[in-house]
Amino acid sequence: MNYIVKFLKAISSETNPWQIAFALVLGMIFGLSPLWRLHNVLILFVVLVFRVNVATFLVSLGVFSALAFALDPLMLQLGERLLLADGLQQFWTALYNSPLGLLSQFNHTLTMGSLVSSLLAAPFVLFLSKYLIVKYRSSVMERVNKMHIVKVLKASTLFQKFSGLEG
């Protein structure tokens, strides 16, 4: 719950919308893929080293991990089609015989399908989330903050505890 509050604070703050959108995309790629894959280790490195909103990354990771269970059959089919494509067999064989290819575990149908699916969706999710964050900040946020229930919730000790305003 603490990360959700931090995420809501991030989209409501002056944080650069691109920074939040980029964290959403990284969480999507990580969440749709099987956990311990080479590309996920690289994403984790990027999140920890560069200025990525960690709360947004973790919320996105959770959402897309749950969504992955529903999308797994489609991603398995895509991975299988790509790995069995006649025109790509020499490429896959060469990649599999390389040390980097073995580490990446691309030869697993779910790894291949989920990585390709998430990379294809990444630009759309990036631009859509940036647009929605800007739209939220310009129109929805003001109206939400003026609502009586929001004012009551913000004054509550539970909200203050979760938002870090109180010890």
| Sequential DSSP letters for 119-145 | HHHHHHHHHHHHHHHHHIIIIIHHHHH
Q: 77 by DSSP, 3-state: which?
A: helix
User: Is the model more confident about 4 or about 98?
Assistant: 98
**pLDDT at position 167, please?**
40
Q: Is residue 147 part of a domain?
A: no
Q: Is residue 151 part of a domain?
A: no
Contacts of the segment 144-153: beta carbons below 8 A, 24+ positions apart: none
Residues 40-84: tens digit of each pLDDT: 999 999 999 998 899 999 999 999 999 999 999 999 999 999 999
Q: Is residue 21 part of a domain?
A: yes
Q: Which range of residues forms the domain containing residue 98?
A: 2-134
11 confidence band (pLDDT: 50, 70, 90): confident
Q: Is residue 120 part of a domain?
A: yes
For the chain, the average pLDDT equals 89
Q: Is residue 129 part of a domain?
A: yes
Q: 167 by DSSP, 3-state: which?
A: coil
Q: pTM higher than 0.95 for the full model?
A: no
Residue 166 has pLDDT above 50, yes or no: no
Answer whether 163's CB lies under 8 Å from 5's CB.
yes
Rounded Cα distance, 119 and 85, in Å: 19
Q: Is residue 43 part of a domain?
A: yes
Q: Is residue 69 part of a domain?
A: yes
Tell me the two tokens of residue 107: 């030869």
CA distances to 5, 135, 142 from 11, in Å: 10, 11, 13
The total number of structural domains in the chain stands at: 1
Q: Is residue 114 part of a domain?
A: yes
